[in-house]
């Protein structure tokens, strides 16, 4: 069965309010004609409301970059999944910057994943190995540990569940994984999902590649059989490059 590609822009902590609104307005126009690919932007949290307003009625989804599992309470600085439900469509969980800059644990990704699934938003579960883990031949072990921990006590995954494979050494470095390396690793991720759940779940799972994806390499990455989308950082900050990436994703299906 064909998997609908999913291209998402992770703006990280970039863009003030005016440029963010300008980018959203530009994307509303430039992505309008693209068919057959799910598209989303994940702006910084303060601009989520602007994104939801500007993109209302379009096919462009809105996502957040982080979430907290408790519904409400004395958790200064956090945003709950319960607050975000109905406002956003997608939630990035376990991004490497959350894991490595903010010390987010595998257990935290599991709590976040559970609540986001319960509330009917679409998680983008990010996993990926450090450079030394790849060089030490431990990539598969690391991905297996991250995935199985995130899936703990989750009995099934919804159709089209999104995993974002983001090798940490490729994020923001300009060092994109070759399409062959990205393909092999995404196939390994699919095999781990099959082992944990079943072949159908794995076949329906959408696996994004992320890490210096851009307008130039999008087509070759998207041409790989196990790569079903891209999670784009730097190249998502300009309408022109993000639009080209979405077009490339649409053209490969
Ligand atoms: P990058 O970031 O495209 O700037 O490498 C990707 C990501 O971290 O999601």
Q: Higher confidence at residue 177 or residue 93?
A: 93
For helices 17-30 and 239-251, what crossing angle results, to 10°?
30
Which residue's CA is minimally distant from atom 2 of ligand 1? 233
Classify residue 226: in a domain, yes or no. yes
Q: What is the CATH number of the domain that holds 96?
A: 3.20.20.70
Write out pLDDT tens, residues 39-86: 999 999 999 999 999 999 999 999 999 999 999 999 999 999 999 999
Residues 6 or more apart from 120 whose CB is under 8 A from it? 85
- Has residue 88 been placed in a domain? yes
**Taking CB atoms and a 6 Å cutoff, what residues make up the pocket around ligand 1?**
10, 166, 171-172, 210-213, 231-235
Q: Percent of the chain scored above 90 by pLDDT?
A: 96
In the 3-class helix/strand/coil scheme, how is 78-97 assigned residue by residue? CCEHHHHECCECEEEECCHH
Instruction: Kindly state the tokens that stand for 56.
Output: 């209302």
Total domains, the chain: 1
The dihedral sign for the CA sequence 218, 221, 225, 228: negative
**129-177 confidence digits (pLDDT tens):** 999 999 999 999 999 999 999 999 999 999 999 999 999 999 888 888 8
Q: Which of 99, 170, 230, 233 maximizes ligand 1 atoms within 8 Å of its Cβ, making it the mutation to test the pocket?
A: 233
1 band by pLDDT with thresholds 50, 70 and 90 = low
- Active site residue ranges: 95, 166
- Cβ(212)–Cβ(173) below 8 Å: yes
Query: Is 177 part of a structural domain of the chain?
Result: yes
Closest-CA residue, ligand 1 atom 7, reads 233
247 in any annotated domain:
no
Task: State the distance from the centre of ligand 1 to the C-alpha of 74, rounded, in angstroms.
Answer: 31
Whether residue 60 is contained in a domain is answered as: yes
Tokens 């500007």 belong to residue: 54
Judging by beta carbons within 10 Å of its beta carbon (0-12, 13-18, 19+), is residue 204 exposed, middle or buried?
A: middle
- CA 21, 26, 27, 29: dihedral to nearest 10 degrees? 130
Q: Which of 7, 12, 64 for mutating ligand 1's site (highest number of atoms within 8 Å of CB)?
A: 12
In a domain? residue 96: yes
- Does residue 246 belong to any structural domain of this protein? no
Q: Would residue 210 count as lying in a domain?
A: yes
Closest to 44 (Cα-Cα) out of 74, 72, 81, 15 = 15
Query: In this predicted structure, what is the pLDDT of residue 227?
Result: 98
* Contacts of 127 by beta carbon, 8 Å cutoff, 6+ apart: 94, 142, 143, 146, 147, 150, 163, 164, 165, 166, 189
Which residue range is the domain that position 115 belongs to? 6-30+37-232
């Amino acid at each position: 069965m064909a998997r609908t590609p999913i291209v998402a822009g992770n703006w990280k902590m970039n863009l003030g309010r005016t440029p963010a609104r300008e980018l959203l307005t530009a994307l509303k126009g430039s992505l309008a004609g693209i068919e057959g690919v799910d598209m989303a932007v994940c702006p910084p949290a303060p601009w989520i409301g602007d994104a939801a307003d500007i993109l209302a009625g379009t096919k462009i989804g809105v996502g957040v970059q982080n979430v907290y599992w408790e519904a409400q309470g004395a958790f200064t600085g956090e945003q709950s999944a319960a607050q975000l439900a109905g406002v956003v469509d997608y939630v990035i969980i376990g991004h490497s910057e959350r894991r490595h800059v903010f010390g987010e644990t595998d257990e935290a990704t599991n709590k976040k994943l559970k609540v986001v699934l319960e509330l009917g938003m679409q998680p983008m579960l990010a996993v990926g190995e450090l450079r030394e883990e790849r060089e030490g031949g431990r990539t598969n072990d690391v991905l297996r540990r991250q995935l199985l921990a995130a899936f703990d006590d989750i009995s099934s995954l919804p159709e089209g569940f999104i995993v974002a494979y983001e090798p940490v050494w490729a994020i923001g470095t300009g060092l994109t994984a070759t399409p062959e390396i990205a393909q092999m690793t995404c196939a390994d991720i699919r095999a781990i999902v099959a082992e944990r759940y079943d072949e159908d779940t794995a076949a329906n799972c959408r696996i994004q590649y992320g890490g210096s994806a851009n307008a130039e390499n999008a087509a070759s990455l998207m041409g790989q059989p196990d790569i079903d989308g891209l999670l784009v950082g730097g190249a998502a900050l300009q309408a022109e490059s993000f639009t080209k990436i979405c077009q490339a994703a649409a053209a490969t299906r």
